[in-house]
Each structure stands twice: as structure tokens, then as C-alpha cells.
């Protein structure tokens, strides 16, 4: 028999997952790797991230697949490429205001759900 606290936690995790789907409903963005990437980008709060670091946020993917994921996020307007002032040959990634807003909303929702579960 599961512990009541575990059941509440699972319910909060499910609510978080459903809310992610509401915010990022396109099928391709339901992949857990996007959550890892977007969370790491959000923690940086606007500080540009080299593409190579973005790929490392998705460690279990091949470099080629991680590159495809990042490119898709750029195409959909979640990430933006900016010039690298230290190396004009490379580009840096930043979150767009759209993504900052969605991740902030998601985290507020998650905090509320997890507080209820505790």
C-alpha cells in the first residue's frame, strides 16, 4: 500500500506534467529533454549560454539530436541566438521573453502543487 504522502507527490508530479503540456502543447516539446534545457536556461536568468553548454543540458542525447532540439527551440521562438562578443565565429543562446514567462508561470504552478502535496 503506497504511503499517502507518496500518492500526493505523484499527483503533484502529474499536475506539473499536465500544466507543462498546457504551456508547451506541441508534441515535440513534451520531451523531457526540453524541460531540462529550459530549466537550466531559466536558472541563468538571461545570461547567454554557449550552444555547447545547451547540448550538455541534454546529456543522454547524441550531439546531433541535441543540436536538432536546440534548433527547433530557436525556430519556435523559445530561444534566441545572439552574437558572442568574445568569439564572432560562435553564437550564444538566450531565452526569449515568451520562454521566460512560460517557465516562470510553470515554476509558480509547480511550487503551489508541491506545497499542497506536502
Domain residue spans of the chain:
4-117
What's the topology of domain 4-117?
Answer: Arc Repressor Mutant, subunit A (1.10.10)
* Spatial separation of the C-alpha atoms in residues 13 and 22, rounded to whole Å: 14
* Spatial separation of the C-alpha atoms in residues 85 and 103, rounded to whole Å: 27
What tens digit of pLDDT does each residue of 40-71 get?
Answer: 999 988 899 999 999 999 989 999 999 999 99
Residue 106 near residue 17 (C-beta atoms within 8 A): no
Which residues are CB-neighbours of 60 under 8 A, at least 6 positions away?
A: 33
pTM here is 0.85
**Grid cell of 30 as nine digits:** 513534451
- Is residue 98 over pLDDT 80? yes
Rounded to 5 degrees, what angle do the CA atoms 26, 34, 11 make? 80
Task: Supply the angle between the helices 97-117 and 4-23 in degrees, to the nearest 10.
Answer: 160
Amino acid at each position: 500500500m503506497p504511503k499517502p504522502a507518496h500518492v500526493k507527490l505523484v499527483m503533484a508530479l502529474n499536475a506539473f506534467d499536465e500544466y507543462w503540456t498546457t504551456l508547451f502543447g506541441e508534441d515535440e516539446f513534451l520531451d523531457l529533454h526540453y524541460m531540462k534545457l529550459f530549466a537550466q536556461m531559466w536558472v541563468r536568468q538571461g545570461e547567454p549560454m554557449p550552444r555547447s553548454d545547451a547540448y550538455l543540458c541534454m546529456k543522454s542525447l547524441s550531439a546531433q539530436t541535441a543540436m536538432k532540439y536546440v534548433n527547433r527551440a530557436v525556430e519556435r521562438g523559445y530561444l534566441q541566438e545572439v552574437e558572442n562578443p568574445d568569439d564572432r565565429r560562435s553564437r550564444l543562446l538566450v531565452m526569449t521573453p515568451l520562454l521566460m514567462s512560460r517557465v516562470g508561470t510553470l515554476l509558480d504552478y509547480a511550487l503551489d502543487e508541491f506545497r499542497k502535496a506536502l
